[in-house]
Homo-oligomer: A and B are copies of this chain.
Amino acid sequence: MTRTDTSGWPCTIARSADLLGDGWVLLVMRQACLGVRRFEDFQRSLGIGRKILTIRLKRLVDEGLLGRVEYQHNPVRHEYRLTDKGRDVYPILAAMAAWGDRWLTGPEGTPLVLHHTGCDHDMQAVVVCSNCAEPIHVREMRAKAGPGYPRPDNDISKLDPDDEAPPAATSAAANPEGKEIRR
């Protein structure tokens, strides 16, 4: 079946989603961020099937999110350590955790609280604009073709995702020119 490969699409989200759009990958990365390194520990702490874990770890190593380093000879054994690339997915996980706290948590409160040792406070992750440092919101964002976009002059700014829009709103949204461009 080979789950459709979106990694080649001219969209960074599609490319990231190709790798991070997998529950086990997310969980494995979370464990790695918590300090887990060994096969057995990943397996036990997640309850993931050993076969699946093997495949996921291999993938993550191939993609460069984890490094496979020998920590013992006789017998040779390896452990999986975060690379810079892998460490950098933490903010995504933190953003997901924050979203989960807001929308998936019952009255009992969040099961996990994140603590930032930098400022020594409990915190939530907030996604902000690199320019003005304000939290970002869909309605204030547009996407436009960047330097790496196949057809340079293809503007694909977004439509209004407002749900107050009148019925029978504009359709054909994402693909104005019908050019079969998969984004």
Q: What residues make up the interface of A, taking CB atoms closer than 8 Å to B? A: 3-4, 6-7, 10-18, 20-27, 30-38, 40-41, 44-48, 64, 67, 69-72, 79, 81-83, 85, 87-97, 99-106, 108-119, 121-150, 156, 158-161, 163, 167-169, 171-175, 180, 182-183
Tell me if B31 and A112 are in contact (CB < 8 A): no
Give, as a whole number of angstroms, the nearest-CB distance from A116 to chain B.
5
Closest to A97 in B: B12
Tell me if B175 and A112 are in contact (CB < 8 A): no
Report the copy number of this chain in the oligomer.
Answer: 2
Main secondary structure of the interface of A (DSSP, over half): mixed
A82: B residues at CB distance < 8 A: 138, 161, 163
